[in-house]
Amino acid sequence: MASASSSSPPAATDAGQERVMAAAKHIVKSMAVSKNAADDMIRFLATYNSRLLPLSSPEDGEEASGRGYDEEEEELIASAVDVIRRCNSSSSSSSGMTDYLYAVDDAIAAAPHSARAAAAVHAAMPRLEEEVRSLLCSSLRRLSLPSDDVDDSTPYASPRHGALSPQAAASIRGFANRMLHAGYGPELAQVYVAVRRNALAESVAHLGVETVAIEEVLKMEWPVLDQMMRRWSHAVRVVVRTLLAGELWLCDEVFESDEELGHECFADVARGCVLQLLGFADAVAMSARAVEKLFRTLGMYEALTDVQQELKALFAGGAAREFIAGEVSSAVALLGSTVCHTIEEFSHAIHGEASRRPVNGGEIHPMARYVLNYCGLLADCRSTLDTILGDGGLDDTVEASTDGAAAPTPSARCMRELLTLLLRKIDDKSRLYDDAGLQNIFLMNNLYYVVQKVMESPPLRELLGDDWLRRHRGQIRQYEAGYLRASWIAVLSLLRDDGGPANTSAAQKALRDKARSFNAAFEELYRTQTAWKVSHPQLREELRIAVSERVIPAYRPFLGRASRLPARHVKYSLEDLENYMLDFFEGVQKFVR
């Protein structure tokens, strides 16, 4: 009897300690989940009051011990099963949901050694799935843009934009953790991926990026494709830096207790969206190459390479990251190749321009304006062009640097090649004019335009260099000399003093003939060259000065020699000639009055 009596208190104490630990666990759970931890603590202590009384009343220890721990565990299981059954059949309030979650916790803890508890867990899972789905669907805020007028300066939202509020995320995490602990990770993942994939697709659609088949892109009219390419270049940055970054944050929150499953879910949610974006890029790269597409294609290339590393980093290591990295690299390579081939075709278009109609008045050729505008835009993308074009050598037909400077960059070589092709084509076009003077005016007009455009564009000037500018300015002076020689040498020869006696009848006759010939020649030059057009005011003024500096000094001594001739033979004073020459190169034909 003494032996039995001495062994009884330790048994009662062990049982009491286990009850205390069970109560403590529920208290901790209450504090972790509930917003009103103090109230829950009191309420839960009250529910365990009868079980704790034996500890505070030693005289009752023997009675409590007699009940047995297994009996108490069965009561816990029965209570959990009852709560789960009642809540599954009705809509629970927030406080009722707290009891429900505690009941689920009890059932999960007991499930390994209780068929009733395991069945209760299984019965609770659809309710938890529905709660997760409801929270994901009701708390989403879609990302949308108000209009088509978006560009790279539009600010990005925070990484959580389009995700859940912190409160909703915490609630989902509570449901998700119980599903994961119960072994229902695949079911949780299925619900999560289905909801989030649709939400992401809807957000991408609001950015103006539609799912379009390659066949549709290939047949698309340029204005429509132009808008889609422009919006794509903006959307790809928003998708990576806002939407996908938000998705990753949410996955990390929901799957906090199973990081690997969270990474798999993120990959499943994001993969379709990423492949949709890359599919459009592939379709653009496969469509017919056209000069007007070049800058939009460059914009897409820049946008994709801008987020390439960020996109790769969103995916955890392994097959998903390798797959996405490979797809992105492939799309980047295709866009880069498209840019290269489009520039080549642009070069071929310059070389193959075959119009045979000369520009009126020797004005700037439309091709020169087009090519310079094009080159100016390309120069703004010089860093991207350097990456795309690489270190390939110059074509044998294109001029190389001769000033001993460092080798030009790929974009600089590209600019030199395009402008060299243009100037050669302009030289060909000059032969369409029969008048040698007008040929030089045409060449001077166009080269002056090219040089001015290069000087006005810091990127172009940087790429081509000052040596290039010096050489081509010198060429302008050569064209000016060619014009003066072709148009004025014969006229000026009429004003030359041939020497010999001036008072003889033969000398006077020769002087009258020269005066008449000069008058006729000058009037013809006036008629034709007032119709010629020198577009740039500065060049026009420089050219008039150059003519005046040659004509007036030669005409002044001629007037002195012709002073004895009848007035009808000397039609123009020095002032008359200077005034008439102010009408030259205006592009409006006039006649001497």
The per-residue pLDDT for 39 is: 41
Lookup result for tokens 């008449």: 516
- H-helix or E-strand containing 374? helix 366-380
- The single-letter DSSP state of residue 156 is P
Distances (CA, A) of 44 to 29, 38, 67, 85, 521: 10, 10, 21, 20, 118
* Cα separation, 280 vs 209, whole angstroms: 9
Beta bridge partners of 419: none
Distances (CA, A) of 292 to 139, 140, 282, 289, 337: 43, 40, 18, 9, 16
* Cα separation, 439 vs 450, whole angstroms: 17
Domain ranges of the chain: 2-124, 166-340, 353-484, 494-581
* Cα separation, 138 vs 377, whole angstroms: 47
Handedness of CA 298, 299, 300, 306 (dihedral sign): positive
- H-helix or E-strand containing 531? none
* Cα separation, 299 vs 107, whole angstroms: 57
Beta bridge partners of 533: 586
Closest CA to 139 of 159, 168, 161: 168
The per-residue pLDDT for 93 is: 55
* Cα separation, 12 vs 60, whole angstroms: 10
* Cα separation, 468 vs 229, whole angstroms: 36
* Cα separation, 6 vs 9, whole angstroms: 7
Q: Record the tokens describing residue 484, joined without a space.
A: 């003066």
CB 500 within 8 A of CB 507: yes
Q: What's the length of the chain? A: 593
- H-helix or E-strand containing 517? helix 505-529
Q: Collect all residues with Cβ–Cβ distance below 8 Å to 303 and sequence separation of at least 6.
A: 152, 232, 233, 234, 236, 237
The per-residue pLDDT for 92 is: 55
Q: What are phi and psi of 317, to 5 degrees?
A: -60, 165
Residue 79, judged by CB atoms within 10 A of its CB (0-12, 13-18, 19+), counts as: middle
Half-sphere exposure of residue 196: CA atoms within 13 angstroms, side-chain side: 27
Which listed CATH number (3.30.450.370, 3.40.80.10, 1.20.1280.170, 3.40.50.2300) goes with 494-581? 1.20.1280.170
Closest CA to 257 of 196, 163, 162, 182: 182
- Using 70 as the pLDDT threshold, list the residues of the chain that sit under it: 1-69, 91-95, 139-164, 391-407, 500-502
* Cα separation, 109 vs 105, whole angstroms: 6
* Cα separation, 205 vs 54, whole angstroms: 65
Q: Which amino acid is at 62?
A: E
The per-residue pLDDT for 146 is: 40
* Cα separation, 307 vs 113, whole angstroms: 52
pTM (2 d.p.): 0.75
CB 178 within 8 A of CB 105: yes
CB 575 within 8 A of CB 519: no
Q: Collect all residues with Cβ–Cβ distance below 8 Å to 470 and sequence separation of at least 6.
A: none
The per-residue pLDDT for 53 is: 32
Q: Collect all residues with Cβ–Cβ distance below 8 Å to 504 and sequence separation of at least 6.
A: none
- Rg of the chain on CA atoms, in Å: 45
* Cα separation, 587 vs 534, whole angstroms: 8
CB 157 within 8 A of CB 237: no
* Cα separation, 132 vs 127, whole angstroms: 9
* Cα separation, 308 vs 491, whole angstroms: 69
Q: What are phi and psi of 533, to 5 degrees?
A: -120, 120
Vertex 153: Cα angle to 149 and 158 (nearest 5): 105
Lookup result for tokens 């080798």: 407
Closest CA to 283 of 329, 331, 322: 331
* Cα separation, 586 vs 8, whole angstroms: 123
Closest CA to 260 of 315, 301, 221, 216: 315
CB 365 within 8 A of CB 446: yes
What digits encode the pLDDT tens for the residues 196-224? 999 899 889 888 888 888 899 989 999 99
* Cα separation, 407 vs 590, whole angstroms: 51
